[in-house]
Amino acid sequence: MAERNSGGGKLDDLEAPVCAPLSKRPARDRIFETARELFYQHGIRAVGVEAIAAEADATKMTLYRNFPSKDELVAEVLREQERDYWAWWDEVTGCTCGDPRAQLEAIPGIESVHDLHVWAVTPAVVTMSAHCIVREPDKHQHVLEHIHDAMRLFGIQHVTIQLEREDMLDRERHLHA
């Protein structure tokens, strides 16, 4: 955002004249985008409505006209973030949503999956066990974290993964047919 002239009579290269046109975007959009950025940079609790309004080149009254409270603004930012995340997730998982093996094999670093079992322990608890071959041993931790996060999103609460080296693929070729 350009800085305003502090009244010294001369503009620096970084300063814009006071009469510079304001953004053509609606105030609600400016407030929302500014809040999202400030919340990300500084945390929700550290950012007040005064800072959001000032950075968005709006007044507190305009902010409260568009968002009844800071809580409502935070909720809207979080809803938008959730929509963005799920759009990304749908793009990443594509057509593999009904196929746990394909979901696992789509995770970067996994070469193949075998001995995959998914079952319900109770109506509310789903468990999965799988053996995965990971080409690069230094990626094991990343792959494990990715698997646990991905499976949790599909409602699988308990996941047991056995990571194996690529040389296991040749010894267990019959399992990958």
How far is residue 69's CA from residue 62's CA, in Å, rounded to a whole number?
A: 12
Mention the CATH class of domain 1-96. Answer: mainly alpha
- Indicate the SS3 state at residue 162: strand
Single pTM value for the model:
0.44
How far is residue 33's CA from residue 1's CA, in Å, rounded to a whole number?
A: 13
All structural domains of the chain with their residue ranges: 1-96, 97-176
Answer CATH for 97-176 from 3.40.630.10, 3.40.50.300, 3.30.70.260, 3.30.70.1350: 3.30.70.1350
Q: Encode the chain (177 residues) as per-residue pLDDT tens digits.
A: 443 333 443 333 333 334 334 467 999 999 999 999 999 999 999 999 999 999 999 999 999 999 999 999 999 999 998 888 777 766 655 555 567 788 888 888 888 888 888 888 887 788 888 888 887 878 888 888 888 888 877 778 888 888 877 666 566 666 555
Residue whose pair of structure tokens reads 């609460």 in the numeric block = 157
